[in-house]
Structure 1
């Protein structure tokens, strides 16, 4: 499985973590099917399609290893702690021009989010009405600026004051009531720090658990703020219910392949300009209602292009993630920052599915970074 061991540690954020997290997502859903029986149990097709999707994801990883070793002489299992690129600085050390630019961009992202919340006139986390209005263009631009800037800043400059900027951004995005953006911010930052600092795995795991508890609370508070819904489930049961419901939607997507015929992907790419929501199309195609729902990482591709499209998607995601993972092992810096972003967003996709234009934008940047590096490596060879 290409886990790298060093002093008893293993590569916690190897791309294969996507496989592990998908299986965990299935396990989390099972109590609602087989114990509480709150939702109908899925048929065997669900497990078959998930298994095939993960298998092609692993094929993508294996092909990346073969290409990099054979054509570019890159060791794909290089010890991930061998190169620590972040420059350790104190609060009083002089800021370089590039560091100042990155701090400025992070601060701009924070400022835009503060303006967004101020214009809403309240805290969306505590109001379902405000939450429905929170995902504005200002919110999106803020996220596009903040997420890569904070990760590149952490990857290149080891200054403790930068953690305060990370925390402020995390809190502000959590106050919008949406879980995916604060998860992406903190998880990508943890991945970046894991590869660019000498941090023990146990502290990373403890940090992940702490973030999970906070986000459980955020999700539960946001649900309780929806006055037209009444839940008797506790926060843990609610997570299990959401996982089971999302996988049941995937079952419907398996039954209704090719229903959207590419319209989901088109809506994902153009939704920013047309104010349309790809997840609403998922709801219409699977449960026949105008309702924004998620269908896992496999669902949208099945609805658009059938099983072949889904397998190609999973293969390409595995190929891209492993290639960027191997490159960042060598070069760190911006490569590590964007690997952290892509891996974090892909883990989130396990539930939500690839229906976010921002993530496709980050994937496109990741592909450009890969091409740029491999062209340089090819010249060296």
Structure 2
């Protein structure tokens, strides 16, 4: 098979990324913090999750056909551009109201995800990808970089990954990426991620890090997987409490820190941690089956606006591999995928072969 015909961003990428994250965490558990490597139970549970994800994706891939996709003509270039600029203005206003730059101040960072940010970030993320998908112009790449910089000042790597990653995937499916552009864009993304993660870690009060930016990534993977390791014996004991917190008030990650490690700290617990803590192996199986099937179906709708929506959902599912699906704002992106499916429902057919 020629490399040009390989779809590098099909849902299978989730499994590849999970295994890569697991490998990084396993290496990190030896080198930077932990006395013992990850337990076999952790590795087997994650591999089982990958198999279930693949089962859902494969079922949709071979059983569902999409004849065509519907476009939304009211999404004009002027409207989308205006919404992108509004999102950038809102995030700038957010930092002005905070009184500083959260990236350089851990106190500000802890309160940086305000209601303004919760509007500005998904608005920019969705609209910049729709703008690229429907009205591509090279000049809009400048807005992608500006957005990554402004939202990166919040101190969270996920914003940088979300913006740069989804834009890259959108451009990939639009066939606007040359080899040279890909190298430059990926280079900018890597440098941005390393920079934001390292600077943010150095600004945390009462913590003194000696790891370099690359070592810090392996350490974070190891620590996050250790949190999941400690969740496994507690599987199903929170009885849906984390899920209810996602769709109401409270901080699911802080609750996990208190419940699992008995510290008042905000923790990432992998894609598998929250659902396993709430519902055990049954819940994990349902989640991974759903994600595999859902991503594969949205992947089949990746034309026009579907390209933008799939790119955003795939990117944030990749982010969830570390952070976990504990933010209602990101579940809103899955809701966009559901709306895309509903809009195109009449064009989705069951393959009888």
TM range (shorter): over 0.9
Deviation at 1:287, TM superposition (A): 1.1
Q: Secondary structure at the match of 1:63?
A: helix
2:255 to 263, 281, 285: 281
Cα shift at 1:206 = 4.8
Compared with structure 1, are the counterparts of its residues 36 and 144 closer, same or farther at alpha carbon in structure 2 (3 Å cutoff)?
closer
The alignment covers a number of residue pairs equal to 348
In structure 2, the residue matched to 1:16 is 12
Q: Are 2:272 and 1:327 equivalent residues in the alignment? A: no
Compute the displacement of 1:36 (Å): 4.4
- For 1:114 and 1:234, how far apart are their aligned partners in 2? 30
Counterpart of 1:120? 98
User: Which of 285, 288, 300 is residue 314 of structure 1 equivalent to?
Assistant: 288
Residue 249 in structure 1 maps to residue 227 in structure 2: yes
Q: Secondary structure at the match of 1:261?
A: coil
Partners of 2:340 and 2:262 in 1: CA distance: 41
Q: What 5-or-longer segments of structure 1 have no aligned partner?
A: 75-82, 86-95
Q: Does 1:144 align with 2:115?
A: no
SS of structure 2 residue aligned to 1:290: coil
Shift of 1:258: 1.2
What is the TM-score with the length of structure 1 in the denominator?
0.86
Compared with structure 1, are the counterparts of its residues 243 and 375 closer, same or farther at alpha carbon in structure 2 (3 Å cutoff)?
same
- 8 Å Cα contact 1:39/1:245 also seen in 2: no
Residues 142-181 of structure 1 mapped to structure 2, 5 A cutoff: 142-181=120-159
When residues 201 and 268 of structure 1 are mapped into structure 2, their CA distance, relative to the original with a 3 A threshold, is farther
Q: Is this contact kept in 2: 1:256–1:303, CA < 8 A?
A: yes
Measured in 2, the distance between the counterparts of 1:202 and 1:100 equals: 30
User: Which of 22, 26, 31 is equivalent to 2:22?
Assistant: 26
Once superposed, what is the RMSD of the aligned Cα atoms?
A: 2.2
Q: Which residue of 1 aligns with 2:243?
A: 265
Contact 2:52 2:285 in 1 (8 A): yes
Q: 1:55 aligns with which of 38, 51, 57?
A: 51
Please give the per-residue CA displacement for 1:249-303, whole angstroms capped at 9, x wherever unaligned.
1111111101221111111111xxx3x1110111122212221101100111100
In 2, distance between residues paired with 1:6 and 1:115?
48
| Superposition pairs of residues 1-381 of structure 1, within 5 angstroms | 8-36=4-32, 38-69=34-65, 98-200=76-178, 203-204=181-182, 206-270=184-248, 274=249, 276-328=250-302, 332-377=303-348
Q: Tell me the secondary structure at the aligned position of residue 159 of structure 1.
A: coil
Distance 1:36 1:378, change over 3 A: closer
